[in-house]
Structures are given as structure tokens and as C-alpha cells.
Structure 1
Amino acid sequence: MLLWLPLLMASGCKVIKNYSPDKPFVYKTDIKLRTDMRTSEKTELISRMQNQLDDSLQVKWVRKGFKQILNKPAVFDSSYAVNSIGYLDDLLRAQGFMYGEIKWDSTLTQVEDQQRVTVNFDVVTGKVMRFDSIDFAFRDSLLQEIALKNREKSILKKGDTYSKEKISLELDRILNIYRNNGYLKINRDDIYAEVDTVVGALIDPGLDPFEQIRLLEEVQNRRNNPQIDVVFRQKGIENPEHLQQYHIRNVRIFPDRQLLGDSLPVYRDTIVRDGIQILRTRDLFKPSFLVRNNYIQPGALYKQEDVYRTNNIMGQMGAWQQVAVDLLPVDSLGIVDVDINMYPAKKQSLNIDLEASRNASDVVTTSNLLGLGLNFGLRDRNLARQSIQASTNLRFGIELGNKGQIIQTFQTSLGQNFTIPKFVAPFPIRGEKNLLSSRTILNANGSYTDRRAFYKVQALNASIGYDWTNKKNRNWIYSPLNIEFVRVFSTDSLQRLFDSIPNLRNSFNDGLIISQKLIVLSAWSRSNKVINLKIGLEESGGVFGNIKSWDLQARLSRYLKADIDFRYYINQSRSSWAFRFFAGMGQPYGKVVDTLGNITKENNLPFFKSYFAGGPSSMRAWQVRQLGPGSSRLFGSTNADRFADIQLETNAEFRFNLATIYGIRVKSALFTDIGNIWFRNNRGNPNLDPAVFRLSKLYKDLAVAGGTSLRFDFSYFLIRFDWAYKLKDPFYSNFNNGWFYNLRPGNGQFQLGINHPF
């Protein structure tokens, strides 16, 4: 509250300039919407209505610093409201509300010499119109055949809510289908949507009286249950070239164009592969690589999706800074020539970066770091003349601590990464051509971590991974082989913890992991709502553990691990809601050699694979790795890192804008974090029973944080200052279930973060 309340109060300071004291001016416009729509849909419609109002009723406050300024407000005139009713009615009809009712009134408030007018609109939408039937009636037989063949993919469904936007999207869908069937030039001038109105038939003077009675009855029924029929047709005036199919004739690739050139390029040679011409001035790219990533084939029927796909795949490769596909149609022959113009980027670069970050485990990295880092990176964008991305990174980092220890962790690492823009496998992978993108990732990394006063860790990691995106825009990441070896050097402080908590020793063993990983990423958006879903699966020892020579000194960890991360966003013009739910669990099932050389049952995940909570991206009222497990008090007298096999967490934020200062957007948020980590069992120690996950004591174990944030948005990154309180601390669950224990204004937790926490 100390962070955001003064700013919020300041942001509410409003100043009105250059108004006429003797004339009433528009100060505010309110819209009251009465409808059966859901709250989110209602909010969105109100926002659209505000933008639909007459310009003079759209009160435009401008932020300068923490002030809101209204300059030259419009003098009020009732005609503005009358015009706005017409605009609002058009919007309602476009959204399918045919029998709405709109009224308006105004109130005048005198503030010193200001005559402030508030205009109020009362909008009753009535019942929404729905689609009854959708049909196609194109005169051209081939157009009709293609439309009917693809009608199951129609955006319009019987019973769905009518809107002009949906009609427009359906027209775009039909045009895209035609453009993927050779119709290069067809556009909105060639097709249209005809909507059926029964009322139009009533004005026919020759209409039979009985038919008129029937239509009047149908009009009344439609008023109670509004429905509409839609037929897609060809327009009367036809352009012959728009209604002919085109085939590809010549395909030429120019892989090394120059953005700025004083003279015409002199081509070194022209190579022909699979009927495709490659004209180059330098030997920068392999012809086979260029042909493999081109989807436009000579002699084939023109397909718009092949053009887009070629452009996107080439453009996403780091070897080029710009890619453009030019189409050169010859209407008289029904053919099109294609030129693929590509402008190379600089081949190599050296970067030195200072960053603040949290790096969470994924397919190609295994570290978890929060704090400051200095990176030295060398990058090659076109290794082996095939746009293979090679990067070498040297990193030094520190992790910020607490309880008087400024630097909690020091880490250094050296890594090498190769990204190959295709699948590299001992056998051909079927269907690769049907993917939107595919690549192979090779990674090797070595690191040294010094967790001051507790332990030192040496880690080596090597992996191969495949990353691809299918036509449903779903991203898959699969690592068939991931090898990690970790060696732990304990300190006297850690040994003393082992003596007080013997089971903790099992969490800090040397570890060997030979695993497989799978990550699936999906995203959906509709209107102002966005959903992101990430599912991760990992196993170690189940497959490669059967190769005895790989199990060095019986140290191979065997476990299964799965987690899910669900995120939901509702975006408004000046604010947004963000929600996240995370659940993860690991199940070890092998044997392990402890630091004393004893072979014991593997009761927990390796500590570098375990779950933890706290920090700027998790439970923000706790320092990183300082929450849990469960409601156990066994760790309370130490600041030892807490790791566990199970994690549940949910987060919610209300994000809003405060002001813009010198081009920097100042934002804030109110947030809450709920969750914890747990053991699966007590590991043979009854004192760890409170740390074990049990559904019956979930409420007791859950931690709850609440707080606020001050954020500076620089567009390309965001700096976040979070201040959070422990609203419910499971460590004190015996005192009112931990609610508000020792809660004081200054007893909060500060977190520094980069970008949004989720």
C-alpha cells in the first residue's frame, strides 16, 4: 500500500483547462447496459459503445505525470446525444440485437465556474438474433463445389449469435479456401453475404392475403425468437481474371539480395534444383537447404498457404533479416511466376549483457537463478551455410539473499548451443513437411554454483531436443536424451542441518540423470481473453537405466515427473486480469547412494529437480526456497533451502496503468498468491508428518500472500517492485490456522523482478 496508494491518489487528480465558464461542457459519459449477457461480454460491449459515441461525447482525459488533464472540453449540445443513439443502434444491430431500446438524459453540476454535464445512456439490448440456416449459392459451378466441400469448417453454426463480424470472418474463410485452390486474385469484390428478412416480403403489393397473415405471424415469432438466414453468393459484375485458377510457372530464389545497392547485382551463377532457379552473387547458402525450405513448386496449383509458409519459415531463420515473396501473374495464360527475395543478416555477433532474471528449468537448461547476471555471448547465424544458429555463452551470476546476506549464491557457467532448422534423426520423420516449423536443438552446458554457507555444486548437462509447431499452432518440445550429472560438496553448516534433520541428507546427493522430456504449449485467444496452457512430462532411468554401463556407481536417479501450468488473461484498454494455476508432482522409484556410500531407497527427487516456492515469480511474501514444506516447523530455525516433490500454486493479479512519465509507462497491480510445496511421505521421520501432502489438511497447509506492485514498462522489458504480506502462514497454522499472524505494516517482503511473474 505504501508503494501504490500515493500514486493511485495522485493519478486521480483531475485538471480541466480551456473551458468556457458561461457554457456547459461534456464532463462525463455513462452507459448503463441492461442485458442477459455474461459480465465479461457486457464489459466488452460497453467498451465498444464508448468508442461508438459521437466524438464530442467521448471525453478524452490525457495523463501528464500523475495528473489527468481535460483540455478544451466540448460544449454540450443535445444533438450529440441524438446522433450517438443512432450510432449505438447501428452497433447493436451489428452484434445481432435487432429490437433494442436506447434512451438518454443529462445532469448538470456546478463546480466553481465549471458547468459540468454528465450524459447518461440507458441501453436495453433485447433478445439477440441467431443464425437459422447458412447456405452457398455461387453461379460458378467450381466455386460452388469447393464451398460445399468445405462447409463443415464454417465459422457460422446454426443457433450461434449473429454479428456482422462473424459474417466478415466467414467471407475471409471462403476467400482463403479459394486462394488455396488456385484463385490468386479473388477478393471481397467477387462474393457477398445475403441475409434473409421476412419483413421485406410484406411490402410486395401482389402478396396473397393468407401468405401475408403467415408472414406477419412469422415476424412476431422472430421478434420473440430472432433468427436469420444467410446465403453466400457471387456479385453480378465479374472480373474474368478473378475467377480463373492460376498455376506456378517459374520459381526463382535470390538468397543474398542487398537492401541498398548502387548497381544491378552480378550473379555468380544460376543453379537449378527440382525446377527451382537459385540466383546468387556469393556462395553463402547451400542450394539443397534453400530448396528444402521452399514450399512453392513449379507446375503446382497456386496456394496462398504455400506462399505464406515459405515466407514465414525463411523469415523466422536467423540467417536473413528480411524475406519477401513477390508474385508476378500472367493473366492471359493463367500462370504466376514467383521471386523469393532474401536479405542476409550479419553472420556473427558478440554480445555482452547485464540482466536480472529468474531462469526456470526447461528442455535445454537445468539451472534456477534469481538475481543479477553478466553474459558474454558469441553467435553465428549461418553455420554450415544452412542457417544453423550456434551460440557460445559464458555467464557469471549472483542470487540475492536475505537475513543480512546480500549475495546468497554465486554461479558461473559455460554453454554451447546449436539450433538446426530441421529434424536431425537417424531415420526420416514422416509429416515434417506438414509442420509450420521444425528444428533440432543440441546443447552442452557446465556450471559451478556456490550456495554460500551451505553447499557447492558442479553440474554438467548435455541434451538433444526437437521443437516443432503443428498446423493447430500447438508447440511441442521433446528431448529424447537429456544427460545431467551433479556433484555436491557440502559445508559444515549443511552437515549440522543433516544432524538435526537426518532425512535432509537424501535431498543433497550427487546425482546422475538420463532422462526424456516432453513439453506441450498451447494458446487460445478470443476477443480480449487469452489462455495459455503448458504441460510437462519427464522420466529418468525408465528407458536408459536399462543400460547398465550408463549407471555410474549406481547413482542414476529414477523418477517420473509431471506438471501443468494454466494461465488466463482478460485484457482491457487500461487494465487487465491475470490468473495462473500450477500443479506438479514427482515420483522417485529407484535406489541411490548417499554421501556415506550406503545404498538406500530413493525417497525424493534430486534437489535440482525438486519443486520450491517463494521469490519474485512464486509466493512473493516469502524469499526464494523459504516456504514449506506443508505446515512443518522443522525448518523454522534455519534458512535452509526447502525442496519437495509436490507443488500446488495459484496466483491472481489485477493490473492497471497509473501514468506515463517521460515516455515510461508506470503501472501497478494488486495480487494474491496461494500455494505450498509438500513431501509425498515422511521419509521414515514422524517429525516430517506436517510436511506430507494430505487432502484432509490442505486448507491448513496452504500459504496465502497478498500485496501490491509498482512497475515501470520500457516496452522491451518491465521492472517490477513487489511488496507482499504473509496473510496466512502455514508455519503458524496452530494459531488461527496461520491467518494474519504477526501482520504489521512494515512486516512485508520486498521482491525485485523482471517482466510479469506470469
Structure 2
Amino acid sequence: MGLTFHKLPFRSFLFFALLALFSSCSVLNFTSVKNYPANKAFVYENKIDLTGNISKDEKKRLSEELVNYWDDSLKVPKIQQFGIFYKIKNPPVFDSANINRSVSLMNAYLNSQGYYYATFADSIRIDTVKDQIRAKVSMAIEAGKNIKIDSVSFQLGDTTLQKLTKEVEASTLLKKGEPFTKSLISAELDRLVSVYRQNGYYRFTRDDIYAEADTTDPRLLQLTLDPFKQAQIIADAAKDRRENPTWDFTIFKRPTTDSARLKQYYIGQMYYYPETKMTDIPDSLLKRTDFLDTTRRGITMRYKKGLFNYRPLREHTYLRRGSLYNENNYFKTINTLGQIGAWQQVDGRPEIRGGDSLDIYFFLVPAIKQNFTVDLEGSRNTADIGLGNLWGISTNFAYNNKNVWKSAIQSLTTLRTGVELSLLTSNQSRLLQTFLINVGHTYAFPKLIVPFKNWRALNRLDNKKTLFSVNGSYVDRRDFYQLRSLVTSWGYEWKKGNNMWLYKPLNIELYAIDTLDGLRKLFVDNPFLRTSFNSGRVISQSLSLIRNFKNASNPDKSHYMRIGIEEAGGIFGLISSLRDEVYRYIKVEAEYRASLKMRKTELAYRAFAGVGYNYGNDSTRDKTLPFFKQFSAGGPYSMRAWGLRQLGLGSSRRSEADTTSNSYRDRFGDLQFEANIEYRFPLTSIAGVKIGSALFADIGNVWNIKTNSLDPDAKFSLKNLGRDLAIGVGTGLRIDFSYFLIRLDLAYKVKDPARQYNNGWMDKFQWSENRANGLKVNNYALQLGIGLPF
């Protein structure tokens, strides 16, 4: 028996929309009060209503910040529980005298943001519920006009400082017409101090510079004997101050008697202590004389055991002897050495020597050289058709050496073995479905090993690495295929700002596949699959970019972008002897994630698109990508209402044609689109373990991009996109142990392209349904995963 819904597609979302609405209902309707003062007015609610001629984003920002400036005695100690319930515990007794203190605090904050003409109006409402006397305080604020910057000038009183400032004046943060805030002035002063300290002014600090605002209207300084004209000038100035207030700003250097503050310093000798212990005191190390010394090019390495070579220190030093002290390069040297991995902590100390020389001392604490880890992973999905009810178990062994050949080279050796087990009770279903084993080894050299040298552009890159890796694997998909592979690559990784780049100029992959009886039977029914399951070689190059950043105007919103492109066979496929041996294709992927953190909740969303095109001429592999390069959807991290690799292709039902429980149903395609949205909220906390939940929706599918006459519904077509898109919604539990998170998601198929009625939309709620061929299919999936899905 099912619960019938209206057949219009959008009505299918009604139930889930109500769930989301319920979670965002009026807070007060689900608020309880504990330990309140009986028969005395207490603070039950505070509210701010901000108005004024300000933008929507600015209003939202100011409103969120003003909440923090209520006087402590007017703040409501409210705790959220189970996502929709709130509890007020020990509310303060209401005293109207505290409102004036709140006005003072809020006005001071608005002044810091450039609003000097705000007006405040408070109101108080008293509600009585049994013995609770609830005081609801509202504050109506008219922000007024924001002060704008009219002009900026610099008077440093020093010829060199004035010249440096003039050179970077175009980069000033104080632009004519921009809104004034104290934080903006502070940022401009920090910028100037940074410029000076990058040009040798080691002792120049923020205390040596300040900004002064001139609020006087120049018209008021005009002398006139006509009282009517003077009155008009005053009236005009007052009107402009109300409608378009502007200030002039001047940056000054404070007078000082210490001439060293205005002296430019040059790099002298640099000393490295690469074997420093965590308990060592730098002053004691500087006095010791029992070190062995190695000095080259102005760099001295002091050591006892000889655990490190001199070269990685020199290659990651961005200061040069005899050059002006540059604070950015000083910290870049410290950060880069700390990111290599050979040292767990790096500190520095500049010391003035003589008149204008600056010796630099670096103290490096070695990381544990070798470590061995073992990880156990598990996953489950119960969205079965055939083999959908699977447990996945894998064990990962890893050995890491952080200082190979004493050169700070990282080496990682991994062994991974795992199985997929079928939990079906059918006699036709084997318990062990998949067995895999993988062995890999990677070297990470802490520099870019390139044939050309002295390319200055490389010095502007951060966290540079050269990567060499070798991986071998064996996968046994019982009754269907056995896959052996050997993959080796040479690549470069570097970072520039928020961008992380990875370029592999050479990637060689060798694959050998043995097709077993189960797969050979599938080839008879679907010859199109044969082009995907072929032995072959991949000789490719790839480039990927990952970018992480936060909104400048809203630091609570973070973004992640990934773009990758891989090209195979473009060069080696032109060699006649290799033409029939290598795959020739191009593959592009793009992913975007965003997260908006609110006070206690989070809204996260993701979009992914990928496509691959096989442009080879070999008749045995000219239709699609090899299956180990194709896309798939479904499982704990993708389209959670479907089992692992169980969605697609398009609206094809061909994989459901065989109703036997042990049939092969994995689905791979050349094109994938997916979008996800998730609203995360806390439920409770038990013994320090945070328990949260989420409401989510997934939409997407996988397609082929070339026509298969035996399965035309598997091909991507814009006109069929609405029909082919799958939609799943659900909720779940998140158990956060801080060091790892266990996730249990229950998802439901709102729209399944494989449904043969109502264009795939659900028209009545039912946990399972029977296809036309009698195959029983679940409309839900229970997914167990580790960590967040995105």
C-alpha cells in the first residue's frame, strides 16, 4: 500500500520541502526556558531592525555583527537542540538601564565602520506566560550615511620613505569615494609598514606611523563680512555633511629619537641549525662551540650528527647575502622549509651586527624520520539491484620516510588490499564479489627538477615538488574480469597564492584484462561493452588546478574549485608501431564546492561535470573511453539514492534486462553531470561526541557520448536531459569524533530515469517497486561512509 501524491512533478518535493521548512520555523515556537526568575521580568528575546540607504549585503553584514554588541545583561543564553528546538537557560533579569549601554556599544561599532550619524530607538514588550514575565527588547537603528574618503596624502618626513610610498601609492586601499572604516585605515597602515619592511626597514613598526582625518569643510575656513553669505555657507556645509559626508586623510610618521628605526639593513651571514631539539633554547645554541660547520655562499649549517645535507637548505632560502632585508622573503624561507616535511618546526631570529648588517639564525626541529600506519576502511550501500547490497572493506598500510638520502626527500610506500562482499541471501550470489590489491611507491623531491636552470619565474612559486610514482594493482571481479595494471608517472606540483597546480608531462599506464564467462555473456547481449573492456596502454600528460579561497566580504563562505585535463596518445599515437596499442582520448573534469557557515548550521553545495572523448581510429576501442577511465555515479559519495556504480546510463534500462541476482550491473560512461546541496545542523552532544544531521538533494547522471544502436537511451542528448536526470533526496546522521566522522545517509529516489512511467517521477511513496520484467528495485538506499560527502 502506498501513499498517493499528485502527479505533477513539483508536488513530489512537497514532503521534503516541508521538512526543510519545519527546520527553519519560528524559533520562538520551539523555545523552552529553564531556571528563570519567577515573577520577575527576564530577557526572553532581543531583536535589531537596521534601516538606512545601504546595500543588502552591507545591511546583512552589519546586522549580524550588531547582535554581538548587546550588553551582556541583555543577551539571551539560547542553546539549539536537535536542529529545531531551543532552550534558554538562566536568562538575566531585565533592567532597562542596560539598554543605554547597548546603544553605546552599538554606536561605537557603527563608528568604526564609518557610520557616525546613526540614530537609535528602543522598544520593550512584556509577555506573561504563567509565572514567566518575558521581556522582548527591540532596537530600531537608522544607520545614516557612511563617511566617504575624499582625499589621501602622505607626509613621512623622510626622503627614502616618501619615495617608496610614492612608488606604491597606486596600490593604496584608501580610494576616493570609498566608504571609510577603521579597519580599512588599519589595513592601509599595515600595507605601508609591510612595504617598508620589504625594503630593509627591519626596525620600522606600526607604532611609527598613523593616520589623521580632517573633518573640516574647507568652505567654513573662508572669510567673509557678509553675514547672509556666511550663513548660507554654513547651511550648505551642514547639508552636505548630512547627505554626502566626506573626510580627508593624511598618513604621518611619528617623530622619533631612535635613528635605527629609519635605517635600512642588509643581509649578512645566515646560520642554520637543522638538528635543533624541541627543548633547545636558542640563546644556548648560539653560545655553543661544539658544532661542526659547513659554509657555502653566505650560508652556514651547524650540526653534530650530519642528518641533513646542505643543499635543501640553500635551495629553499629566499634571502641573499648583501641584499636589503625583505620580511616577506624571510617568512617565505621559514614557511617553505616547514612545508617540506623533513622538519616539524622552523623558527628564525634576525640579529643586528655592526652598523647596518642583519645576521639571520634559523632553528629547525627535525620531524620523526620514519612512520608506519595502518588504516581500516568500511562502506556499505543497500540500494540493490543485483549486487547493490554490498559491504566494502579495505586495509591500507603506509610507510613514510621524510628524509631520504639526507636531502629532505619524501618517500611513501603503500599497500592496499580490500574486498567487496555481497549480503544477499540468494544462492546464486557469491559472498566475495571483488578482491583488489595495490602496491605503490612515490618520491617527492622538494624542488622542481627541470632541464633548464636560472628561470626566475620558478622563484615566485611556493611549495615546489617533483613527484615520481610507480603503482601496480590487481582487481578480481568474480566471474566477470581480472584486471592487472602498472602505472608510473613523473610530475610537478607547486603553489601560487591560493592556486595549487599539478602537471604530469609523462604518465604511462599498462593494462591487461582477462574477460571471464559472465562478461563474455554480457558482450553477446551488449556488444558495445566490448570496446570498453580492452587491454591497452595509456601514455598521457595531464594538468590540474585546485583553488581554495574565502569571500573577501564574507569569510564564513568558502569555495573550492578543481579543473583537470588529461590527453592521451596525441604524440605517441602518431607512431605507427604504437598506433594500435595506445588509447587516444581527451578527458576534462571540473568541480566546484561552496560552504556557507552560519552560527550553528552550514549550507554546502557542489557541482561536478566531466567528459571524455576517444578519438582513436582502432576499431576495437573507438567507441568509448576504457572503463578504468570512465565515470560512474552512486554510492556514499555520489547520488546517494543509488548503489555504488548503479546509476545510468541516461534512461537506459538495459542493465536491468537480466533479472538474475548475480548479474553484472556496474555502469560506466563517458560523460557525467552531478549537483548536490546539503543543509547541515547539530542535534546534540554525547560524552564530547558531536551528533549532527543533514537534509540533502542530489541530481545528476552518467551517459555515453557516442551512439549505440542497441542502447540509444544511454547517449547524452540535450533534448532528453530533463528525462535523463536522476534526483534523490534524504537525510542522515553525522557522528563526529573530531579525528574522524561516521556518516549514515538515507536517500530516496524522487526521480529515477529507469522508471517506465510518469517520466521517471515518483507518483506515490513506496519503498520498492517491480519493473516490467519482474525485477524488484528499492527506491531508497542506506549509505555508510567516512567523512562528509563533499
Question: Do both share a fold (TM > 0.5)?
Answer: yes
2:265 to 235, 242, 246: 246
Q: Percent identity?
A: 38
1:234 to 253, 260, 272: 253
Q: Does 1:737 align with 2:759?
A: yes
Please say if residues 334 and 346 of structure 2, whose CA atoms lie closer than 8 Å, have aligned partners that are also in contact: yes
SS in structure 2 at match of 1:307:
helix
Give how far 1:18 is off. Answer: 3.7
Q: In structure 2, do the counterparts of structure 1 residues 298 and 427 end up closer, same or farther at CA, with 3 Å as the change threshold? A: closer
Give how far 1:648 is off. Answer: 1.4
Please say if residues 650 and 713 of structure 2, whose CA atoms lie closer than 8 Å, have aligned partners that are also in contact: yes
Q: In structure 2, do the counterparts of structure 1 residues 241 and 633 end up closer, same or farther at CA, with 3 Å as the change threshold? A: same
Q: Does 1:306 align with 2:326?
A: no
Q: Distance in 2 between matches of 1:239 and 1:658?
A: 59
Q: Does 1:752 align with 2:784?
A: yes
Please say if residues 107 and 118 of structure 1, whose CA atoms lie closer than 8 Å, have aligned partners that are also in contact: yes
Question: Residue 375 of structure 1 aligns with which residue?
Answer: 396
Instruction: Point out the more displaced range, 338-347 or 321-330.
Output: 321-330
1:680 to 685, 705, 709: 705
Q: Distance in 1 between matches of 2:392 and 2:172?
A: 50
Q: Does 1:26 align with 2:18?
A: no
Give how far 1:416 is off. Answer: 0.6
Q: In structure 2, do the counterparts of structure 1 residues 38 and 202 end up closer, same or farther at CA, with 3 Å as the change threshold? A: closer
Give how far 1:544 is off. Answer: 2.8
1:655 to 640, 657, 680: 680
Question: Residue 560 of structure 1 aligns with which residue?
Answer: 586
Give how far 1:429 is off. Answer: 6.7
Q: Distance in 2 between matches of 1:611 and 1:429?
A: 42
Q: Does 1:445 align with 2:477?
A: no
Q: Does 1:457 align with 2:483?
A: yes
Q: Does 1:611 align with 2:631?
A: yes
TM-score (norm 2): 0.86
Give how far 1:237 is off. Answer: 4.9
Q: In structure 2, do the counterparts of structure 1 residues 530 and 214 end up closer, same or farther at CA, with 3 Å as the change threshold? A: farther
Q: Distance in 2 between matches of 1:18 and 1:24?
A: 13
Give how far 1:91 is off. Answer: 2.0
- C-alpha deviations, 1:163-184, integer Å up to 9, x for none? 2222222221111111111111
Give how far 1:89 is off. Answer: 2.0
Give how far 1:93 is off. Answer: 2.8
SS in structure 1 at match of 2:765:
coil
Please say if residues 224 and 230 of structure 2, whose CA atoms lie closer than 8 Å, have aligned partners that are also in contact: no
Question: Residue 528 of structure 2 aligns with which residue?
Answer: 503
- C-alpha deviations, 1:346-387, integer Å up to 9, x for none? 2112222223489xxxxxxxxxx9943211221111001111
Q: Distance in 1 between matches of 2:59 and 2:692?
A: 25
Q: In structure 2, do the counterparts of structure 1 residues 556 and 386 end up closer, same or farther at CA, with 3 Å as the change threshold? A: same
The residue type equivalent to 2:718 in the other structure is L
After TM superposition, list the pairs within 5 Å mapping 1:348-367 onto structure 2.
348-356=370-378
The residue type equivalent to 2:259 in the other structure is P
The residue type equivalent to 2:569 in the other structure is G
Q: In structure 2, do the counterparts of structure 1 residues 503 and 302 end up closer, same or farther at CA, with 3 Å as the change threshold? A: same
After TM superposition, list the pairs within 5 Å mapping 1:160-559 onto structure 2.
160-198=178-216, 210=229, 213-214=232-233, 216-237=235-256, 239-260=258-279, 267-330=290-353, 333-356=355-378, 371-399=392-420, 408-428=433-453, 430=455, 431-470=457-496, 472-525=497-550, 526=552, 527-548=555-576, 554-559=580-585
TM-score (norm 1): 0.90
1:622 to 611, 627, 642: 642
2:713 to 679, 684, 690: 690
The residue type equivalent to 1:635 in the other structure is S
Please say if residues 391 and 422 of structure 2, whose CA atoms lie closer than 8 Å, have aligned partners that are also in contact: no
Q: In structure 2, do the counterparts of structure 1 residues 160 and 731 end up closer, same or farther at CA, with 3 Å as the change threshold? A: farther
Give how far 1:127 is off. Answer: 4.1
Q: Distance in 1 between matches of 2:746 and 2:170?
A: 52
Give how far 1:519 is off. Answer: 0.3
Q: In structure 2, do the counterparts of structure 1 residues 661 and 229 end up closer, same or farther at CA, with 3 Å as the change threshold? A: farther
Please say if residues 402 and 623 of structure 1, whose CA atoms lie closer than 8 Å, have aligned partners that are also in contact: no
Higher relative contact order (CA 8 A, sep 6+): 2
Instruction: Point out the more displaced range, 38-47 or 660-669.
Output: 38-47
Question: Residue 774 of structure 2 aligns with which residue?
Answer: none
The residue type equivalent to 2:397 in the other structure is F
- C-alpha deviations, 1:28-76, integer Å up to 9, x for none? 2122233565655544332211111111122223578998654432110
Q: Distance in 2 between matches of 1:722 and 1:504?
A: 32
Question: Residue 591 of structure 1 aligns with which residue?
Answer: 617
Give how far 1:637 is off. Answer: 3.1
- C-alpha deviations, 1:13-36, integer Å up to 9, x for none? 765444321321112212223356
Give how far 1:413 is off. Answer: 0.7
SS in structure 2 at match of 1:730:
coil
Question: Residue 599 of structure 2 aligns with which residue?
Answer: 573
Give how far 1:548 is off. Answer: 4.8
Question: Residue 366 of structure 1 aligns with which residue?
Answer: none
**RMSD over equivalenced CA pairs, Å:** 3.1
The residue type equivalent to 2:134 in the other structure is R
Question: Residue 728 of structure 1 aligns with which residue?
Answer: 751
2:72 to 46, 51, 55: 55
SS in structure 2 at match of 1:709:
strand
The residue type equivalent to 1:675 in the other structure is G
Q: Distance in 1 between matches of 2:369 and 2:673?
A: 45
Please say if residues 77 and 90 of structure 2, whose CA atoms lie closer than 8 Å, have aligned partners that are also in contact: no
Please say if residues 557 and 590 of structure 1, whose CA atoms lie closer than 8 Å, have aligned partners that are also in contact: yes
- C-alpha deviations, 1:480-507, integer Å up to 9, x for none? 1111122222232222222221212212
Q: In structure 2, do the counterparts of structure 1 residues 149 and 261 end up closer, same or farther at CA, with 3 Å as the change threshold? A: closer
SS in structure 2 at match of 1:162:
coil
SS in structure 2 at match of 1:630:
coil
Q: Distance in 1 between matches of 2:530 and 2:210?
A: 73
Please say if residues 538 and 560 of structure 1, whose CA atoms lie closer than 8 Å, have aligned partners that are also in contact: yes
Give how far 1:558 is off. Answer: 0.2
Q: In structure 2, do the counterparts of structure 1 residues 221 and 65 end up closer, same or farther at CA, with 3 Å as the change threshold? A: closer
Q: Distance in 2 between matches of 1:13 and 1:274?
A: 71
Q: Does 1:667 align with 2:692?
A: yes
Q: Distance in 2 between matches of 1:261 and 1:474?
A: 36
Please say if residues 64 and 661 of structure 1, whose CA atoms lie closer than 8 Å, have aligned partners that are also in contact: no
Instruction: Point out the more displaced range, 635-644 or 252-261.
Output: 635-644
Q: In structure 2, do the counterparts of structure 1 residues 651 and 300 end up closer, same or farther at CA, with 3 Å as the change threshold? A: same
The residue type equivalent to 1:294 in the other structure is T
- C-alpha deviations, 1:200-255, integer Å up to 9, x for none? 98599999964664464244235333444333222345643322212222211111
Please say if residues 725 and 743 of structure 1, whose CA atoms lie closer than 8 Å, have aligned partners that are also in contact: no
Please say if residues 81 and 682 of structure 2, whose CA atoms lie closer than 8 Å, have aligned partners that are also in contact: no
SS in structure 2 at match of 1:635:
helix
Give how far 1:393 is off. Answer: 0.9
- C-alpha deviations, 1:390-410, integer Å up to 9, x for none? 111111123466766776532
Give how far 1:521 is off. Answer: 1.4
Q: Does 1:77 align with 2:92?
A: no
SS in structure 2 at match of 1:185:
coil
Structure 1: state its 5+ residue gaps: 359-368, 593-598
Instruction: Point out the more displaced range, 610-619 or 440-449.
Output: 610-619
Q: Distance in 2 between matches of 1:229 and 1:475?
A: 41
